[in-house]
Amino acid sequence: MNQYRFAWKPVAATVVLAALLWWMTFYLDFGVFWFKIAFSAFVLAVLSFVLQPVRLMDFRLNWRSIAIGLVSAALLYLLFWAGKTLSTALFPFAGDQIGAIYDKGEGTPMWIIVLLLFFITGPCEEIYWRGYLQRQLMVRFGTAGGWLLATLCYAGVHISSGNFMLTAAAGVAGAFWGAMYWRFKDLSPVIISHCIWSTFIFAVMPVP
């Protein structure tokens, strides 16, 4: 398939699949959460490669992309710390909902969570949500429209968690990484940012 040609059927199908996978991950109690989210992201990433082969120029790994990824991860991490402080002051339920996000990983060794987040979940999510979905939507609806729709889809699949704070956080993070992809047209700094940020905020230095 021509990667610059919008094909609404596979795009819509992958969004529906993503919603189903996220529902199974967050809503259903079976299995280990971190393995389920890694599996879900991996499936979508594989589909992305099948539907839209990624060229080498989409991954310009160099010192510049590494620096951008690290700095952006730090900025997003600080933004979430500020957001946590503000949200817990405004919403009485915020603290419990933020804590519930971390409770999903209870019982899973920290080193496993780190490896899954850094090497599977982070990269695979960016390959699908930005590298495939946002790119496709930007072809059809323009850069701003594609960025907005991809962000809404990314936040929307988290609704099945029943956690307002998680859905809002996904919207913020999705908008942030989507804006990076829009600006740089390169997945490398976005993947680095996602991997570093998620590893720190969920495993190394959680916000609660």
| Angstrom distances, CA of residue 38 to CA of 19, 67, 122, 180, 206 | 15, 26, 8, 23, 19
The answer to the question of residue 3 being in a domain is no
Closest CA to 134 of 168, 184, 83: 184
What's the average model confidence in pLDDT over 54-72? 85
Which pTM value belongs to this model? 0.94
The answer to the question of residue 1 being in a domain is no
The answer to the question of residue 148 being in a domain is yes
Range of the domain at 192: 8-55+65-204
pLDDT per position as a tens digit, 164-203: 999 999 999 999 999 999 999 999 999 999 999 999 999 8
The answer to the question of residue 24 being in a domain is yes
The answer to the question of residue 109 being in a domain is yes
The answer to the question of residue 93 being in a domain is yes
pLDDT at 7: 84
The answer to the question of residue 2 being in a domain is no
Sequence-distant (6+) residues with CB within 8 A of 33 are 25, 26, 104, 105, 108
The answer to the question of residue 21 being in a domain is yes
| CA–CA separation, 175 and 82 (whole Å) | 17
pLDDT per position as a tens digit, 79-109: 999 998 999 888 888 889 888 887 887 788 9
Instruction: Confirm if 157 and 22 have CB atoms less than 8 A apart.
Output: yes
Closest CA to 37 of 48, 52, 51, 21: 21
Number of domains in the chain: 1
